[in-house]
Amino acid sequence: MSDDAVTLMKQQVGKAAADRVQSGTIVGLGTGSTTAYAIQYIGERLQKGELKDIKGIPTSFQASVLAKKYGIPLTSLDEVDRIDVAIDGADEVDPQKQLIKGGGAAHTREKIVDSLAEQFIVVVDSSKLVDKLGLGFLLPVEVIPMAMTPVMRAIEGLGGEPTLRMGVKKAGPVVTDEGNLVIDVKFANGIENPADLEKTLNNIPGVLENGLFVDTADVILVGEVKDGQPSVREV
């Protein structure tokens, strides 16, 4: 699949999600390149007057910067009593709608916002659909820095192969918006039981949150390109 086709799929699916946002709602704004298009289109609908009285809750520094760029007013969890809809990307989606997220190291805030939403809409291109989680994408685990080594040992004890995520064009590790580290974990045979693993990992002292999103997604919108024609389907 060419880069152009992937970009087209991301744009289409981001727009489809933005079209579902209604006036007067509180909207969780996810992180990543696909959600960035949703944020852009929500902003465009606001500017055109198609949408009114929206407030966004960003899941990351990136989402907050984009929301400001596209004119979406922001609020926080302290100021609202609900989130009507959240739109967010994913790194893998299985047939049961379970997800791996955290490719952008934002999964802790994403899980807080996405799981509070009345409706969580996941936006992905078709390359993200998998039969089994964890075979193609390593599972991100956010860890408090002083616990890095014991957490890595504990993960090895669970049969995982942990790697500290390193920065690109930055010496040293990736540091999350919360000031923590990310350990990416390979499970050689993939993830057998996402619900159990999500809990087991979060029970290791020093782990803040992992990227398994179990029974959180309500709607999966998938961007596709067939014969050069983009389309979006719901699974």
Residues in the interface with ligand 5RP (CB under 6 A) total 17
Q: Of these, 43, 56, 58, 103, which contacts ligand 5RP (CB under 6 A)?
A: 103
Q: How far apart are CA 67 and CA 82, in angstroms?
A: 19
Name the minimum Å distance from CB 91 to ligand 5RP: 5
Q: Which is nearer to ligand 5RP, 7 or 75 (CB)?
A: 7
Which helix (H) or strand (E) is 213 found in, with range? strand 212-213
| Residues known to be catalytic | 110
Judge contact between 107 and 114, C-beta under 8 A. Answer: no
Q: Which stretch binds ligand 5RP (CB under 6 A): 45-53, 74-82, 103-111, 150-158?
A: 103-111
Across 105-135, b (16+ Cβ under 10 Å) vs e yields: bbbbbbbebbbbbeebbbbbbbebbbebbbe
Question: In the bound complex, what is the minimum distance in angstroms from residue 133's beta carbon to ligand 5RP?
Answer: 13
Site for ligand 5RP in 110-149 (CB under 6 A): 110
Cα 52 from chain centroid (whole Å):
26
Q: Which of 97, 107, 111, 165 binds ligand 5RP (CB under 6 A)?
A: 107
Q: In whole angstroms, give the CA distance from residue 235 to residue 220.
A: 5
Cβ atoms 107, 211 nearer than 8 A: yes
Selected range binding ligand 5RP among 32-40, 48-56, 75-83, 142-150, rule: CB under 6 A: 32-40
Separation of alpha carbons 174 and 98, rounded Å: 25
Q: Least distance (Å) from ligand 5RP to the CB of residue 128?
A: 7
91 has binding-site annotation: yes
- Is 57 exposed, middle or buried, given 0-12, 13-18 or 19+ CB atoms closer than 10 A? buried
Asked if 223 interacts with ligand 5RP (CB under 6 A), we say no
Binders of ligand 5RP among 52-81, rule CB under 6 A? Answer: none
- Dihedral through CA 70, CA 71, CA 76, CA 82, nearest 10? -90
The residue from 18, 70, 88, 151 that contacts ligand 5RP (CB under 6 A) is 88
Binding residues: 31-34, 88-91, 101-104, 128
Q: Which residues of the shown chain bind ligand 5RP in the complex (CB under 6 A)?
A: 30-34, 88-91, 101-107, 110
Binding residues for substrate: 31-34, 88-91, 101-104, 128
